[in-house]
Amino acid sequence: MAYKHTNSKGVTYYLNSKQVTLRGGKEQTIYYFSKDERPETATDLPSDMEVNENPRNGFLTVKRSK
């Protein structure tokens, strides 16, 4: 089961992750939200991350906790 978050506008988003290779060859995990469930990329929210919402448009982002 993927992590899901409902924003202030009432829209539910699902958290996904993907391994990407940066230009220097370093591997990095990126996190992104989608409106539909994607079982192949679905993930839980890591314990060291938190969800932020843009108050103007309700767009969700993930960043490291302080």
pLDDT tens digits, one per residue of 31-54 = 999 999 999 999 999 999 999 999
SS3 content of the chain, % helix, strand, coil (to 5): 0, 50, 50
DSSP letters, 24-38, are TS-EEEEEEEESS--
pLDDT band for 17, please (50, 70, 90 cuts).
Answer: very high
By residue range, what is the domain housing residue 58?
A: 4-64
Structural domain count of the chain: 1
How far apart CA 25 and CA 11 sit, in angstroms, is 36
- Amino acid identity at 30: I
Tell me the pLDDT band of 66, cut-offs 50, 70 and 90.
Answer: confident
